Chain A
Amino acid sequence: MYSRIYKAIVSAPPLLWVGFFLLLPYALMFAHSFWAVRDGVLVHEWNLQNYHTLLSNPVYVGVLFRTMRIAASVMLFSLLLGYPLAYYLSFHAGPRKELLYQLVIVPLWVSYLVRGYAWKTILGSDGVLNGFLQYFHITHEPVGYLLYSPFAVVLMLTHIYTPFVFLPIYAALEHIPRPLVEASQDLGANPRSTFLLVILPLSMPGLVAGATFAFVLSLGDFLAPLLVGGPSGTMIANIVQSLFGAAYDWPLGASISVCILIITVTLLFMTERLEKRWSFK
Chain B
Amino acid sequence: MTQANSIRRAPLLRVYAALVFAFVYLPIVVLIAYSFNRDGVGGFPPRHLTFEWYRRLFADAAIWNSVLNSLIVAAGSVALALTLGLLAALALDRSDFPGKALFRRLVLLPLILPGIITGLSLLMFAVFAGMQLSLLTVFLGHGTALISVATTELFAGLQKMDRKQEEASLDLGATPWQTFWRVTLPNLKLSLIAAGLLIFTLSMDEIAVTFFLIGRDNTLPLEIWGRLRRGITPEINAVSTLIFAVSVGLITVWYRLRTRAERAAA
Per-residue CB contact flags for chain A residues 157-176 toward chain B (1 = under 8 Å, else 0) read 00100110000000000000
B266 within 8 A of A: no
Interface size on A, residues (CB 8 A): 91
Interface string of A117-130 (1 = CB under 8 A from B): 11111101011101
- Answer whether residue A198 sits at the interface, using C-beta atoms and an 8 A cutoff: no
Docked Cα-Cα span, A260 to B31, in Å, equals: 33
B87 x A268 contact (CB < 8 A): no
> Can you name the residue of chain B whose Cβ is closest to the Cβ of A4?
B95
Contacts of A112 in B (CB 8 A): 205, 207-208
Contact in complex: A111, B205 (CB < 8 Å): yes
In the complex, the answer to whether A111 meets B10 with C-beta atoms within 8 Å is no
Whole-angstrom CA separation of A244 from B124 in the bound complex: 10
Closest to B116 in A: A237
**From DSSP, what is the main secondary structure of chain A's interface residues?**
helix
In Å, the complex CA distance between A264 and B212 comes to: 21
- With known contacts A110-B205, A127-B42, A264-B114, A11–B120 Cβ distance under 8 A: no
Evaluate contact between B120 and A111: CB separation under 8 angstroms: no
Q: A2-B176, A85-B20 are in contact. Are A217 and B240 (CB under 8 A)?
A: no
A264 in contact with B113 given A1-B170, A130-B42 (CB within 8 Å): yes
Q: Counting CB contacts under 8 A, is A59 at the interface?
A: no
Contacts of B224 in A (CB 8 A): 113, 117
**Residues of chain B contacted by A107 (CB below 8 angstroms):** 24-25, 28
Pair B84/A13 contact, Cβ less than 8 Å = yes
Which residue of chain B is the closest to A107 with respect to CB atoms?
Answer: B24
Least distance between B50 CB and chain A CB atoms (Å): 17
Identify the closest chain A residue to B32 (Cβ). A118
**Which listed residue (A13, A92, A105, A114) contacts B10, Cβ 8 A?**
A92
**When A32-B124, A120-B228 are in contact, do A22 and B106 touch as well, CB less than 8 Å?**
yes
* Number of interchain pairs (Cβ within 8 Å): 256
B107 near A7: Cβ-Cβ < 8 Å? no
Residue of A nearest to B236 (CB): A117
Whether B207 contacts A113 by the Cβ 8 Å rule is yes
- Asked if B110 is at the interface of the complex by the 8 Å CB criterion, the answer is yes
Q: Provide the bound-state CA to CA distance between A181 and B5, in Å.
A: 10
Which one of A50-58, A200-208, A221-229 contacts B? A221-229
- Does the CB pair A254–B97 fall under 8 Å? no
Does residue A84 face the partner (Cβ distance < 8 Å to B)?
A: yes
Interface residues of B in 207-237 (CB under 8 A from A): 207-208, 211-212, 221, 224-225, 228, 232, 236-237
Q: Which residues of B contact A221 (CB under 8 A)?
A: 114
Residues on A with C-beta less than 8 A from B44 are 128, 131-132, 134-135
Determine the residue in chain A with the shortest Cβ distance to B163: A1
A181–B94 CB distance below 8 A: no
Task: Tell me the chain A residues, 58-106 only, with Cβ under 8 Å from chain B.
Answer: 81-82, 84-85, 87-89, 91-92, 94, 100, 102-106
- Asked if B31 contacts A268 (CB within 8 A), the reply is no
Residue among B17, B30, B166, B170 making CB contact with A88, cutoff 8 Å: B17
Interface presence of B7 (CB below 8 A): yes
A181, A219, A222: the one within 8 Å of B6 (CB): A181
Q: Which residues of B contact A268 (CB under 8 A)?
A: 112
Q: Are A162 and B243 in contact (CB under 8 A)?
A: no
Instruction: Name B's A-contacting residues (CB within 8 A).
Output: 2, 5-10, 13-14, 16-17, 20-21, 23-25, 27-28, 30-31, 34, 41-45, 84-85, 87-88, 90-91, 94-95, 97, 103, 106-107, 109-110, 112-118, 120-125, 128, 140, 144, 147, 151, 163, 166-167, 170, 176, 198, 201-202, 205, 207-208, 211-212, 221, 224-225, 228, 232, 236-237, 240, 243-244, 247-248, 251-252, 254-255
| 6 CB < 8 A contacts A-B | A7-B97, A21-B144, A115-B27, A122-B30, A254-B120, A260-B114
In order of increasing CB-CB distance, the 5 nearest A-B pairs are: A220-B114, A131-B44, A25-B121, A14-B88, A118-B27
